[in-house]
Amino acid sequence: MSKFELKLPQMGESVAEATLTSWLKDVGDVIEVDEAVFEIATDKVDSDVPSEVEGVLLEKLFNEDDVIKVGQTVAIIEISVGGKVSEKATTVEKVVEDVLEETVVALETTVTEAKDTVVSTVQNNNGTERFYSPLVKNIAKQEGITIEELDSISGTGKEDRVTKNDILGYLENRSAKKVLPKVTRELPETPAPIVETAAKTAFVPPVYASKNDEVIPMTRMGKLIAQHMTNSISTSAHVQSFIEVDVTKIVNWRNKTKGSFETREGEKLTFTPIFMEAIAKALKTFPMLNVSVDGTTVIKKKNINIGMAAALPDGNLIVPVIKNADQLNLVGMAKAVNDLAYRAKNNELKPDEVKDGTYTVTNVGSFGSVFGTPIINQPQVGILALGAIRKTPSVIETNEGDFIGIRSKMFLSHSYDHRVVNGAMGGMFIKAIKDYLEAWDENREI
């Protein structure tokens, strides 16, 4: 019998794992070549994983909501021989029978082991209507967690089920409570000062909801984004530089050009592709912003691939990537920006379109913010926030003297990794973008 191991494929240099969101095939189902078997999700995109062979699904090695490492085997497929399914899986009933037989044997073994172990911990779901997976119950059994404690743990899985991460998080908090020092009744006349160190991990007390509070579980993508952002803060030494840009010439040029551009190209001309063009030119001038850090090694990227943070309907963000942005003219940039933004909002992006970014741009101005301090998108070393364009009274210098006028201005906020990018380079980078934008040719043809 020939078996094929369907593994989780590589989905980009920064993606090491994914969450299995749903199985599209059941054990015993016939699978065609390139037919999707299961769906996965990362902190960047949802996708399905197709089979590379024709055959029958013999075994599932992971459950829904499990986190899988890249390269791990997710399913076993029995390969068809000569265009037909081999003898063991000639019928769905036979495959299901084999799986059920193995399951019964495994359950009998588990029950026998449980009877031989005398502990006052959770061994089944008696006394509770809540479902717990065998893995969660086994952890509870080993750690001495009672059924009452299990019932008190907030679940983040489907239908509020307690996942492996939920129970492990509960155990961490419980352990932290146990090691807290006791407060003595007698205090010295002069209490010693309390010194907090950066290396000390503070105990985070549990948060309890009152009866009038609404408890809203984080979405799967929300949890992944939260972890991604926390990891970035822990990895990079964040520092920011800000600069104000006069974009009056660009505003006037766009107002004059956008109508004819849409008629000719069938695309809207927004400010974003103009800014992307300026950023791509600056990255070419300052290639040490187009790098990644690997320990004590700096990897200088050959291609300039700019990530464009886009808001999703549920409030989360996704970052599609404009590949080789420095090689696009303004028409090509506008088409790429519009296409990626549209498909991002409609959850139609492919895994390849959200990987290999070398620098990221986020438009905080679209929500009315004047500027922001964005968090670096690892493993990159810089991210630029575009503030809102506002009309402001400004001092205008001329050969005849200074006067006050109304100008369209915006702030650029540059967050960068101070491990490899010093303040001078970080400041000169956004100064180069400012100079390019302020020197815009109002007679430029597109």
Sign of CA dihedral 101, 102, 106, 112: positive
CA distances from 78 to 28, 64, 99, 427 (A): 10, 22, 14, 59
The pLDDT score that the predictor gives to residue 121 is 42
pLDDT digits (tens, 9 = 90+) for 215-262: 888 887 788 888 889 999 999 999 999 999 999 999 999 999 999 999
The pLDDT score that the predictor gives to residue 175 is 63
Sign of CA dihedral 104, 107, 109, 112: negative
Task: Find, among 248, 275, 241, 255, the residue nearest to 409 by Cα.
Answer: 248
pLDDT beneath 70: ranges in the chain: 1, 12-14, 43-45, 80-129, 134, 158-159, 175-204
Q: What distance in Å separates the CA atoms of residue 118 and residue 136, rounded to the nearest whole number?
A: 19
Token representation of residue 26: 């059941």
Q: Which CATH superfamily is domain 121-182+201-217 in?
A: E3-binding domain (4.10.320.10)
User: Has domain 223-438 been given CATH number 3.30.559.10?
Assistant: yes
The pLDDT score that the predictor gives to residue 125 is 43
User: Has domain 3-106 been given CATH number 3.40.50.1980?
Assistant: no
The pLDDT score that the predictor gives to residue 358 is 97
Q: What is the pTM of this model?
A: 0.61
Asked if 121-182+201-217 and 223-438 have one fold, the answer is no
Listed in sequence order, the DSSP H helices in 64-200 are: 92-115, 134-143, 147-152, 164-178
pLDDT digits (tens, 9 = 90+) for 331-357: 999 999 999 999 998 888 888 899 999
Each domain of the chain, given as residue ranges in start order, spans: 3-106, 121-182+201-217, 223-438
What is the DSSP pairing of strand 55-60 with strand 390-398?
unpaired
Q: What distance in Å separates the CA atoms of residue 319 and residue 305, rounded to the nearest whole number?
A: 11
